[in-house]
Structure 1
Amino acid sequence: MARFRNKKKVFVKPVSKKQQVTVDHVTGDKIPRSFVFSRYRLPGPLKQLQADLRKLMLPYTALKLKENRRNKLKDFLNVAGPMGVTHFLMLSKTPTAPYLRVARTPQGPTLTFKIQEYSLAVDVVRSQLRPRCPQDLFKNAPLIVLSGFGTGEQHLKLTTILFQNIFPSIDVNTVKLSSCQRIVLLNYNKDTKLIDFRHYSIRLQPVGVSRRLRRFVQNHQVPDLRNLQDVSDFVTKAGYGSESEADDEAATVTLASDLGRVNRASTKSAVKLQEIGPRMTLQLMKIEEGLCSGGVIFDEFGNGDGKKTKDNHEDMENGEDEHDEEDEENDEEDGEDIEED
């Protein structure tokens, strides 16, 4: 007996004032926003990686995006327009490896990366003796730094442009130093053709000031001087009289304005980076003209003439076909919702 399927429905919440498109005062264009979601089922670790990527893309992303396993790409695309979403970050898993697609909406291009290795944010934090995560760390978008992409190759130029446009632009003359708290670093190794993806927090420390004095000023706590003969003993006490970390001249900057109670304008401060994760090692596999479709501009194992190679992407395409067949057999839902909290 033939089975009748109900037409799929997508529920789009009305666009609130908070979700309206905002304009970047530097470029005059709308501020880029993103959706981070999965294509088909993901194992537990990759689900956590998806959550880490959503947190990394804050504040211009949907941290609590509600997705259904039956949602198709066109469902997300229909919602992207009213919400001002400009980029998709899509995670998928094949029998051999996980993949990350980064696409510009609504017409592409789409870059497909193979995730060679990855570490979750929680793993990075556990490996540190003194993890650091202030409450307002994700209040502003991170800075983006690209290294090693200036080889002149066309596919690397496209990669540079796409990643630069994922995050809002900054004006070095007007940007507030207090808003520069995170940095995303992408380093391309031309020998291995791999991209190291790192996420750091930025903090400044005044040069020549002991750690004990910094903590005293920052925490507003009255020090215990009962066992000291003189106040100078508090500063010159063994183990606290000098910095435990050497100040590198190359990593020092002169501040143009005050930053907190310790870092003052016209004084030198040391720039410290602390990794907060996630961490990934990516390999660029393919660049398509459209949104997960269209001619192939670049193929790692092909000639980039717009034709797909037969063997190199067979595993990725077969993995998606298997998910499609499984979803067709198990489709028991009348409608599908995509919501942003």
Structure 2
Amino acid sequence: MARIRNKKRNMFVKPIVKKKQANVDHITGDKIPKSFVFARGKLPGSLRQLQMDLRKLMLPYTALKLKEKKRNNLKDFLNVAGPMGVSHFLILSKTETAPYLRVARTPQGPTLTFKIHEYSLAADVAQSQLRPRCPQDLFKNAPLIVLSGFGSGEQHLKLTTVMFQNIFPAIDINTVKLSSCQRIVLLNYNKDTKLVDFRHYSIKLQPVGVSRRLRKFVQNRKVPDLRNLQDVSDFVTKAGYGSESEGDDEAATVTLANDLGRVNKASTKSAVKLQEIGPRMALQLIKIEEGLCSGDVIFSEYGTASEQRQETNQNNEEDAGDDEGDSD
């Protein structure tokens, strides 16, 4: 007869660990805005490249390799945006008159429509510079946002300010790390031309009063060639490599609260350098709609209702065509 064994088994209950929400900043507790950058309708090659430049600018909280198909309509992007926590759309389109950029908040708007008067690609900006700067970790953190000239008190400018402020994550000045402040997006409104200058810069700090040779020596960790020098001071003060004053302007210097790299040390002054990395755009706000690319017009740059309807039809003609294709 088989022997019955009474063995006590201890049950192990796995503790429940609350997962951190991916869409919430663990320091500030605020929801991190995310974006989709896509096109409506057929775009020429230069605007396609501008679309990729905007995606790169919005990193790391955007879909860099977002796949688009001709049959996709606005509802398709909206259905995907909800589960992924996407809060904003940046939509490029092209009509017979000009290219347009729509900035919309999901899922219910509002939508700001800008006419693109001029634009330069990131590659064009880099080619115009003697020493383009693009470190590997430049797009690891979201850029800072600075708005200038929007404080006139007009309602449409207030909405523009709020929209662009909410596209990028908020920062806490008490806890932010200096190493994460690598880029800055500058929007300057000209009240005379009614154009918004859109610029994208990289931020670089250089210690004040340190020669370029010595700075590069510390940063690169390379042993310099001293065979033709009589003294090490000749290396530091050699003609053409003296103490540069290009960044010693008092208005352009900051005192660091903590160390930043091998050269910029805490409690020392460093010069703030901005180098444009693109893209660059000249935008004109022509319309604000209450909903997501639809709804009542809150603001319009055009004077007559017929012009408003014409502009609306031009901007939405591709969306309407996609919707009809899907229904077929």
Q: TM-score if structure 2 supplies the norm length?
A: 0.90
Cα deviation for residue 282 of structure 1 reads 0.3
Cα deviation for residue 19 of structure 1 reads 12
1:38 aligns with 2:39: yes
Is the contact made by 1:20 and 1:84 (CA closer than 8 Å) also made in structure 2? no
Query: Paired residue for 1:197?
Result: 198
Trace 1:222-237 onto structure 2 (pairs within 5 A).
Answer: 222-237=223-238
Partner SS for 1:297: strand
Question: Given residue 313 of structure 2, which amino acid in structure 1 is its aligned partner?
Answer: E
1:254 aligns with 2:250: no
Q: What RMSD over aligned residues (CA atoms) do the two structures have, in Å?
A: 2.2
Query: Paired residue for 1:82?
Result: 83
Cα deviation for residue 21 of structure 1 reads 3.7
Trace 1:18-167 onto structure 2 (pairs within 5 A).
Answer: 21-25=22-26, 27-167=28-168
- Distance in 2 (CA, whole Å) between partners of 1:276 and 1:264 is 26
Trace 1:279-318 onto structure 2 (pairs within 5 A).
Answer: 279-302=280-303, 309-315=305-311, 317-318=313-314
Kindly provide the CA deviation profile for residues 35-86 of structure 1, in whole angstroms up to 9, marking residues without a partner as x: 0000111110000000000000000000000110211000000000000000
Number of matched residues? 310
Cα deviation for residue 187 of structure 1 reads 0.2
5+ long unaligned stretches in structure 1: 1-17, 303-307, 335-341
Is the contact made by 2:37 and 2:55 (CA closer than 8 Å) also made in structure 1? yes
Question: Given residue 175 of structure 2, which amino acid in structure 1 is its aligned partner?
Answer: T
Tell me which of the two structures has the higher relative contact order, counting C-alpha pairs closer than 8 angstroms and 6 or more residues apart: 1
Kindly provide the CA deviation profile for residues 188-233 of structure 1, in whole angstroms up to 9, marking residues without a partner as x: 0111111000000000000000000010000000111000001110
Partner SS for 2:305: coil
Cα deviation for residue 323 of structure 1 reads 7.4
- Distance in 2 (CA, whole Å) between partners of 1:101 and 1:56 is 16
5+ long unaligned stretches in structure 2: 1-18
Is the contact made by 2:142 and 2:183 (CA closer than 8 Å) also made in structure 1? yes
Q: Percent identity?
A: 81
- Distance in 2 (CA, whole Å) between partners of 1:134 and 1:93 is 33
Distance 1:200 1:19, change over 3 A: farther
Question: Given residue 267 of structure 1, which amino acid in structure 2 is its aligned partner?
Answer: T
Is the contact made by 2:40 and 2:93 (CA closer than 8 Å) also made in structure 1? yes
Partner SS for 1:66: coil
- Distance in 2 (CA, whole Å) between partners of 1:254 and 1:99 is 42
- Distance in 2 (CA, whole Å) between partners of 1:96 and 1:23 is 41
Distance 1:117 1:253, change over 3 A: same
- Distance in 2 (CA, whole Å) between partners of 1:318 and 1:246 is 48
Question: Given residue 110 of structure 1, which amino acid in structure 2 is its aligned partner?
Answer: T
Partner SS for 1:311: helix
- Distance in 2 (CA, whole Å) between partners of 1:19 and 1:292 is 33
Is the contact made by 2:115 and 2:284 (CA closer than 8 Å) also made in structure 1? yes
Tell me whether 243-252 or 41-50 shows the greater mean CA deviation. 243-252
Query: Paired residue for 1:10?
Result: none
Cα deviation for residue 28 of structure 1 reads 2.6
Query: Paired residue for 1:208?
Result: 209
Query: Paired residue for 1:169?
Result: 170
Is the contact made by 2:189 and 2:197 (CA closer than 8 Å) also made in structure 1? yes
Kindly provide the CA deviation profile for residues 122-157 of structure 1, in whole angstroms up to 9, marking residues without a partner as x: 000000000000000000000000000000011111
